[in-house]
Structure formats: structure tokens, C-alpha cells
Amino acid sequence: MEKNLILAGVGGQGILSIAYVIDNAALEAGFHFKQAEVHGMSQRGGAVQSNLRYADRPIHSDLIPSGRVDAVLSVEPLEALRYAASLKPEGWIVASVTPHVNISDYPDIEEILDRLSAFPHTILVDTGAVAKAAGNLRAQNMVAVGAAAPLLDFTDEQLLKFVRQLFAAKGDKIVAVNERAYAYGKAMGSFYRALIEAGLPAREALDLSRAMDPATVDPAAAPQWAELAKAEGSMERVRALENKLDCGTAEIPSAN
């Protein structure tokens, strides 16, 4: 078994923190791992990336050959597109849809989301909104780790152990925020994927998942939500539920 990941984002988004959690979980699980240094303008908000590899046998290079990337894990949508060409045919994109607009000619975000949604294997999460719901916008990186968790080879407890270690020095409150960010990210990513597996187009799945409350979203209810959206022939009725969802009063729709 071998897993090859590209971690991507911009400086200040905590790419090293993502690497810390996954690297240590890999060691805890008995894997070999190698990680390339983070490259990019990390002190200026520029693009940054790192190769991370783990396997059940020795790994001889920390760089991933093009075409052998299992997943791009990005905390920024444009940066996810930057590395998509390195994916295996069956590779995954796990990406935030929250843009970090750090250049004057940043592309139209709707076009970026359309392009990301066109890939067959995606997990797209509004990490900004989810991190705010967890208690701190800076926790977007742990939202991304949670969203990617189903593609990794570790238990939640193995990953959360190192989330706790990473933030322990900052106090219990910050630890709890980042644990919530992980849990909310996993739930939102799983809900998005379940909508797609129930037959909802990826872009509509993204719109619907973004309307959900990260604290209460239930991936098991995704098939009912998908059927509602498909039955209406548009997202209009689903969007009309947003106020109820925000207030926590919307009921799970019937599939009938």
C-alpha cells in the first residue's frame, strides 16, 4: 500500500499543521513516510505546497512522480486546480471552496468551482464557513483534514490524537475548536459525497451542502435531500429552506 498526497494552499493557512497531523498518524499506524519541505512564499501569502507520502514499505524519495498522486488536499480552490494534472486517473481532489484572493487577477470563483466540480472524484467543502461554525476561521486546515479523513488510512482517533497534540500548548479552548473543525469538516465532506452518490450533480451538491448547518448535518440523510432537489427540477425549493436550516427548524424531507 502506498498513498501519495499533495498538500496545497497559501502561506498562513497551516499546511505544515496538516502535514504534522497526517505524518504522525502515519507513524502511529506503523507506516513509513516521507514529506518534502513546504515550497512557496509562505511568509507573503503566496502559493505553498508539499509532497507527503506514506506506505507499508520503505519510501526512497519524498517527491511524487507526476501522474501518481492519490489526492490533492488543498485549503484554497485555485491551488487545488494548480496540481490537479498530477493526479492518477482515479485520484481525488479534496478542496476548500473558500477563495483566498491574494492577486489582482484572481479568476472568477464560480468558474473555479465549475472546473473543480467537473472532476469525477471530489470532496468540496466551504472551509471558511465550517471553521467559523467551529469557532475560529483559522481552523480551516483542520476542516480540510476532516474532509479528507475518509480517504486516508487512519481512524478518527489516530488523527484527532495529533490534532490535540498540535494545539495543546494553546489551551483547551483552541483544542476543542480544532476538534470541532475536524468533525464538522468530515461531516460536511461526507454529506457532499453522499449527495453525489445519490445522483445529484456535483455543483448542485455543493450548493446544497453549503446551505447546511455543519453542527447538525447528517450524511445519512443525504439521499432524501438529493431526491427532494431532483424532484423539484431545480435548487429553488432547497434554497428556500436555508432560513429554516439556519434556525435549526428544517425537518429531513421525505423521499416520497
Which numeric CATH code is attached to 2-247?
Answer: 3.40.920.10
Residues 5 and 70 sit within 8 Å (Cβ to Cβ): yes
Asked if pLDDT for residue 207 goes beyond 90, the answer is yes
CB atoms within 10 A of CB 1: 8
Residue among 199, 202, 256, 196 at smallest CA distance from 230: 199
CB atoms within 10 A of CB 154: 20
Average pLDDT over residues 36-49: 66
Instruction: Give rounded-to-5 percent helix, strand, coil for the chain.
Output: 50, 15, 30
pLDDT score of 250:
47
Q: How far apart are the first and last CA of the chain?
A: 43
- What percentage of residues in the chain have a pLDDT greater than 70? 87
User: What's the confidence (pLDDT) of residue 249?
Assistant: 42
Question: How many residues are given for the chain?
Answer: 256
Least confident of 17-31, 162-176, 208-222, 227-241: 227-241
Q: Is the pLDDT of residue 244 over 50?
A: no
Q: Average pLDDT in the 121-134 region?
A: 98
Average pLDDT of every residue of the chain:
89
How many Cβ atoms from other residues are within 10 Å of residue 223's Cβ? 16
Give the best-scoring range by mean pLDDT among 134-148, 218-232, 238-252.
Answer: 134-148
Q: What is the mean pLDDT of residues 173-188?
A: 98
Give dist(CA 154, CA 156) in Å, integer. 7
What's the mean pLDDT in 69-80?
97
Q: How large is the angle between the packed helices 202-210 and 222-232, nearest 10 degrees?
A: 110
Separation between Cα atoms, residue 202 and residue 123, nearest integer Å: 9
Element at 141 (helix H, strand E): helix 140-148
